[in-house]
């Protein structure tokens, strides 16, 4: 199987498995216990926290371990909203946030919290002028993704941080797709709270973190003594050790830039090769600032399920739009927000490359996919078998 779905999840790195296994077998005590095994677990937790903080450019005390980005996003938004001064009630979300995060926005709105959405342009980039108009003194917080999981478009975090801070509001950023793909430094990022998930960068699933700048008013949501009373519940120590090992394995900032350049070159070769063989190819957000390994495309009016079926026959795993909403026939909310007509949006296929992708993998797709698709010319779905 050739894996072109790295934005959905990534295979755990060997170093991650090696770091986690002894924690399952040997360091299984509760880090809150006072006895010697508990204290050993507590030291392991502390060492992992230090590694995470060093890798992400924050203080160890600014790391809150969670079950992943979905939980981090909820903790950030509800925690910042609940701590906002009286008179600041409105929550501003990006309009192309992850589907789970937009469900939170709708839940808040249904419960009476005023909610606004930051629009995007036709190429998926943020409409900064509209953002300037929407972020005002009644805002409790702004919540924006760093990079979109479908188009890969990177959002102007520094500019939105300046707008939010000028209005006296904190900024939460869902950096789930950015961290692991491009260098990241919390101290210079501009956001007050940042969400991440380990499985997006070769760590284990079900573990992540919320980075919360020291001194930012925030109200805990799950009560307990762990994580400095900011997130109750016995820590997922093997997962946390795996998260730290995954960040460590990413290497230095310059190594990450080199990997990003390799991936961007592979992604460009993929898009060039497919465009040569398939003139009906359209790539969304191709000229916008985007993640190096993400390609979001349609081939004429071929439905996504037809293309995915052909890819599957070739042993290639890819995705239509956001993985979490695959299988449904609703068009991607991201493409809808970009003004893409429904029929075009239903043709959207995402190929996302990652550390395991090679030039041979890309050559294989470019050589094998077009003839299979041409066979179902004039680009209509094949008859049922």
Active site residues: 324
Give yes or no for residue 143 binding ligand PLP (CB under 6 A): no
Residue 113 CB, nearest approach to ligand PLP (Å): 20
- DSSP 8-state class, residue 120: B
Stretch that binds ligand PLP, among 63-71, 209-217, 238-246, 269-277 (CB under 6 A): 63-71
Say if residue 343 is exposed, middle or buried (CB neighbours under 10 Å; 0-12, 13-18, 19+). Answer: exposed
Give yes or no for residue 98 binding ligand PLP (CB under 6 A): yes
Give yes or no for residue 236 binding ligand PLP (CB under 6 A): no
Instruction: Give dist(CA 194, CA 70) in Å, integer.
Output: 12
> Binding residue for ligand PLP (CB under 6 A) from 44, 55, 62, 174?
174
Residue 181 · residue 246 · CB < 8 Å? no
Stretch that binds ligand PLP, among 64-72, 165-173, 245-253, 263-271 (CB under 6 A): 64-72
Site string for ligand PLP, 186-215 (x = CB under 6 A): -----------x-x----------------
DSSP secondary structure, 144-200, as one string: EESB-TTT-BBP-HHHHHHHHHHTT--EEEE-TTTBTTB---HHHH--SEEEEEGGG
> Which run of H or of E encompasses 78?
helix 69-82
Q: How many residues bind ligand PLP (CB under 6 A)?
A: 12
Give yes or no for residue 332 binding ligand PLP (CB under 6 A): no
Angle at 248 between CA 194 and CA 2, to 5 degrees: 90
Instruction: Give dist(CA 120, CA 122) in Å, integer.
Output: 7
Give yes or no for residue 321 binding ligand PLP (CB under 6 A): no
Residue 301 CB, nearest approach to ligand PLP (Å): 27
Q: Which is nearer to ligand PLP, 299 or 304 (CB)?
A: 304
Which residue in 100, 120, 103, 98 sits closest to 284, CA to CA? 120
Residue 275 CB, nearest approach to ligand PLP (Å): 26
> Binding residue for ligand PLP (CB under 6 A) from 12, 68, 203, 242?
68
Q: Which residues bind ligand PLP (CB under 6 A)?
A: 68-70, 98, 100, 145, 149, 174, 176-177, 197, 199
């Amino acid at each position: 199987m050739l894996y072109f779905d790295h934005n959905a999840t990534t295979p755990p790195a060997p170093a991650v498995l090696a770091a986690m296994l002894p924690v399952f077998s040997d360091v299984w005590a509760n880090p809150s216990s006072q006895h010697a095994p508990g204290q050993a677990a507590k030291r392991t937790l502390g060492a992992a926290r230090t590694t995470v903080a060093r890798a992400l450019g924050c203080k160890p005390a600014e790391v809150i371990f969670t079950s992943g980005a979905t939980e981090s996003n909820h903790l950030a938004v509800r925690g910042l909203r609940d701590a906002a001064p009286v008179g600041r009630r409105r929550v501003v979300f990006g309009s192309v946030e992850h589907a789970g995060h937009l469900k939170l926005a709708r839940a808040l709105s249904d419960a009476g919290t005023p909610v606004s959405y930051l629009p995007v342009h036709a190429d998926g980039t943020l409409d900064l002028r509209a953002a300037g108009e929407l972020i005002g003194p009644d805002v409790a917080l702004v919540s924006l993704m760093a990079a979109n999981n479908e188009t890969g478009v990177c959002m102007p975090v520094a500019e939105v941080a300046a707008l939010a801070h000028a209005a006296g509001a904190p900024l939460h950023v869902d950096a789930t797709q950015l961290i692991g793909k491009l260098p990241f430094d919390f101290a210079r990022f501009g956001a007050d709270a940042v969400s991440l998930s380990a499985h997006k960068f070769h760590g284990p699933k079900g573990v992540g973190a919320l980075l919360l700048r020291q001194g930012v008013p925030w109200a805990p949501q799950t009560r307990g003594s762990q994580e400095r009373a900011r997130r109750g519940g016995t820590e997922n120590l093997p997962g946390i050790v795996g998260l730290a090992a995954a960040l460590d394995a990413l290497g230095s900032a310059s190594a990450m830039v080199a990997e990003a350049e390799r991936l961007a070159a592979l992604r460009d070769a993929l898009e060039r090769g497919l465009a040569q063989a398939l003139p009906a190819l359209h790539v969304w957000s191709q000229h916008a600032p985007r993640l190096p390994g993400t390609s979001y495309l349609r081939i004429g009016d071929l439905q996504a399920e037809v293309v995915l079926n052909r890819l599957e026959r070739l042993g290639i795993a890819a995705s239509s739009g956001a993985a979490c909403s695959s299988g449904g026939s609703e068009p991607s909310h991201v493409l809808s927000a970009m003004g893409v007509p429904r029929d075009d949006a239903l043709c959207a296929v995402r190929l996302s490359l990652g550390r395991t992708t090679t030039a041979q993998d890309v050559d294989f797709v470019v050589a094998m996919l077009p003839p299979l698709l041409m066979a179902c010319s004039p680009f209509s779905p094949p008859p049922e078998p």
